[in-house]
Amino acid sequence: MGILLAKFSPEYIIRIIGLDNSGKTTILYRLKGDQSSISTVSTNGFNLETIQCMNKNLVIWDIGGHRNVRNLYRHYYPQSHALIFVVDASDHQRIDEMKDEFAEVLKCSEGVPTVLILNKQDKENAMTESFIKEQLKLDDIKDRKWFVQLTSALNSESNSSLLQWLSNNI
């Protein structure tokens, strides 16, 4: 029965993007339900997983975050039903690069629902939600639904609310 349900469930494409070393791959595997200790290396291409959630198949692409790969992001947006932009909230030195990349995402993705994950909240120096919202001017975003999720990819406590938001907004 589960196989039949999955076969006829609608499929939605979600892209996980962001700067390198922000935790995109760890978040992907935590969303998938992998509770083991995840040891990842920097993603040079992409990882692809399908997650069943609320009778929907979420096909999640984790796309590498190195600058040369980020230049290709715009080619993925037209086929996306939602975006997850991951921020390393402990990386104060790259806030300007993150702001520029996020602005480019908004410019090129035309109304695609967007989740902003503020990762590495377990770090003592993590930037606050209000600081990042101000830096990215989130309250000025009117062309799409958006959601902010604070998390530490090392645990999966916030995954259910993230998956529920995605399922309800795609």
Residue 68 assigned to a binding site: no
Residue 22 assigned to a binding site: yes
For residue 48, the tally of other CB atoms under 10 A from its CB is 12
CA separation for the pair 109, 76 (Å, rounded): 9
DSSP string, 105-137: HHHHHTT--EEEEEE-TTSTTPPPHHHHHHHHT
Residue 45 assigned to a binding site: no
Residue 19 assigned to a binding site: yes
Instruction: Assign 14 to helix, strand or coil.
Output: strand
Angle subtended at Cα 111 by Cα 135 and Cα 170, rounded to the nearest 5 degrees: 110
Residue 40 assigned to a binding site: no
Answer whether 82's CB lies under 8 Å from 12's CB.
yes
CA separation for the pair 143, 116 (Å, rounded): 15
Answer whether 149's CB lies under 8 Å from 115's CB.
yes
Residue 119 assigned to a binding site: yes
Residue 24 assigned to a binding site: yes
Residue 122 assigned to a binding site: yes
Residue 128 assigned to a binding site: no
Residue 33 assigned to a binding site: no
Binding residues for Mg(2+): 25, 43
Binding residues: 18-25, 43, 65, 119-122
Binding residues for GTP: 18-25, 65, 119-122
